[in-house]
């Protein structure tokens, strides 16, 4: 089954074509990041306007790439090969979401193809299936760590999720971004820069200086806002090099994420662990979770780095495994959709 995916939940405008939920045929991502760097955060109105500018060229470029990849003679042949159109319906910024949704509806109508809505957070998890030559066995624990969310879910099968816990305040990605900003590394989306800075640290001289929030609590919830405040205080002491603070901060976040995920994996006797969301690109998190899971005989799957942050490949992938088709008049944006919400 060949699915066209469309993703416009925030500041990326993306379209992709994926075969059978696992094989990426082509992908196009445009980003309005540079505009949000200037303001140090996303201005929803600006993001929505940039979505409007980008959506048609991105979809057109995606079809061109599809034509090339399949060595087809015309775009009409491409359209015939598409079996369904899938689109992110939430969570995200309403103005941005609407742009992708309306484009998907128009395409579905014009090409006479079914329409599949996708929860963006579920999409992040399905990045694990793209180009993965191993079978992902269930039950599985998925740790979703993105810019806006941190959730731990038990996956019993496709579309069969049980919510185990999540952050009570800030997402892990938001904490990375805030501390990166406090360290003067980047005003916007600084997680990757903080991680690079931490790599410069040869020895963690600040080990244990920052809290590991909620680690001792017998639940699967997280909290990162206090860690942000403690990091700010440490930085304000002006005694430590940025790489030392970055290293201790990264370790504190990773300690909590890994230990709680492993605890859940043991409790629910899962076969696999899946990571998803932008923070799953973090090299320390990927390494530590793999090492700890291996010790208890559990296989860890991680998405390719390029598919950790927002794109349409995993939207089309998730649509294949959760193929709930809807009529276009029933499709609407849902900005506050949670990981357990269906439509």
**DSSP structural state of residue 132:** -
Closest listed residue to residue 214, CA positions, set 291, 150, 271, 281: 150
Residue 246 pairs in a beta bridge with none
CA quadruple 202, 206, 211, 212: dihedral, nearest 10: 30
Q: Choose the binding region for ligand ATP from 140-148, 229-237, 295-303, 335-343 (rule: CB under 6 A).
A: 140-148
To ligand ATP, the closest distance from the beta carbon of 311 in angstroms equals 9
Residue 303 lies near ligand ATP (rule: CB under 6 A): no
Smaller CB separation from Mg ion, 125 or 247: 125
Cβ-contact 296, 141 below 8 angstroms:
no
Nearer to ligand ATP by Cβ, of 100 and 190: the residue is: 190
Residue with tokens 């390494």: 287
Least distance from C-beta 309 to Mg ion, angstroms?
7
Residue nearest to ligand ATP (CB): 278
Q: Which of 32, 128, 140, 146 binds Mg ion (CB under 5 A)?
A: 146
CB 189 to Mg ion: min, Å: 11
Q: What is the 3-state secondary structure (H, E, C) of 50-95?
A: HHHHHHHHHHHHHHHHHHHHCCCCCHHHHHHHCCEEEEEEECCCHH
Query: CB-wise, 21 or 277, nearer to ligand ATP?
Result: 277
Q: Which does 282 bind (CB under 5 to 8 A by kind): ligand ATP, Mg ion, none?
A: ligand ATP
Contact code string over 151-190 relative to ligand ATP, x by CB under 6 A = ----------------------x--xx-----------xx
Distances (CA, A) of 326 to 18, 88, 186: 20, 13, 41
Tell me: does residue 7 bind Mg ion (CB under 5 A).
no
Query: CA 40 to CA 213: how far, in whole Å?
Result: 27
Query: For the chain, what is the radius of gyration of the CA atoms?
Result: 20
Nearest to 101 by CA among 116, 84, 113: 116
- Shortest distance (Å) from residue 209 CB to ligand ATP: 20
Q: Alpha helix locations (H) across 237-282?
A: 242-267
Q: Is there binding between residue 149 and ligand ATP (CB under 6 A)?
A: yes
Residue of 113, 120, 228, 290 that binds ligand ATP (CB under 6 A): 120
CB of 190 vs ligand ATP, minimal distance in Å? 6
Interacting span for ligand ATP (CB under 6 A) from 43-51, 60-68, 145-153, 231-239? 145-153
Among 12-20, 57-65, 75-83, 304-312, the segment contacting Mg ion (CB under 5 A): 304-312
For helices 191-199 and 283-295, the axis angle rounded to 10 degrees is 70
* List 11, 170, 250, 310, residue binding Mg ion (CB under 5 A): 310
Q: State the CB neighbour count (10 A cutoff) for residue 203.
A: 8
Interface ranges with ligand ATP (CB under 6 A): 9-10, 91-92, 120, 124, 146-149, 173, 176-177, 189-192, 195, 277-279, 281-282, 309-310
């Amino acid at each position: 089954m060949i699915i066209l995916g469309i993703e416009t939940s925030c500041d990326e405008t993306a379209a992709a074509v994926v075969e059978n939920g696992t094989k990426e045929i082509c992908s196009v991502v445009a980003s309005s990041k540079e505009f949000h760097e200037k303001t140090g955060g996303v201005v929803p109105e600006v993001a929505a306007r940039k979505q409007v500018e980008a959506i048609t060229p991105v979809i057109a470029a995606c079809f061109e790439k599809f034509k090339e990849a399949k060595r087809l003679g015309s775009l009409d042949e491409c359209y015939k090969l598409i079996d369904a159109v899938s689109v992110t319906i939430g969570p995200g910024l309403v103005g941005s979401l609407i742009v992708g949704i309306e484009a998907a509806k128009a395409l579905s109508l014009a090409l006479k193809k079914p329409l599949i809505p996708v929860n963006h957070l579920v999409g992040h998890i399905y990045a694990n299936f793209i180009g993965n030559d191993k079978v992902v066995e269930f039950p599985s624990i998925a740790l979703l760590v993105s810019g806006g969310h941190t959730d731990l879910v038990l996956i019993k099968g496709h579309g069969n999720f049980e919510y185990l816990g999540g952050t009570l305040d800030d997402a892990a990605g938001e904490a990375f971004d805030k501390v990166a900003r406090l360290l003067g590394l980047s005003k916007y989306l600084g997680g990757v820069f903080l991680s690079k800075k931490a790599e410069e640290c040869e020895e963690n001289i600040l080990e244990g200086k920052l809290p590991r929030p909620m680690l001792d609590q017998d639940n699967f919830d997280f909290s990162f806002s206090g860690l942000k405040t403690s990091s700010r205080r440490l930085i304000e002491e002006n005694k430590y090099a940025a790489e030392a603070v970055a290293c201790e901060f990264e370790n504190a976040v990773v300690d909590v994420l890994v230990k709680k995920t492993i605890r859940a994996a043991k409790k629910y006797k899962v076969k696999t662990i899946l990571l998803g969301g932008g923070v799953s690109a973090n090299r320390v998190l990927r390494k530590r979770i793999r090492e700890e899971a291996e010790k208890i005989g559990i296989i860890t799957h991680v998405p390719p780095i390029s598919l950790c942050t927002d794109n349409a490949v995993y939207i089309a992938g998730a649509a294949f495994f959760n193929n709930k088709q809807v009529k276009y008049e029933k499709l609407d944006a849902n900005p506050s959709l949670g990981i357990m919400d269906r439509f």
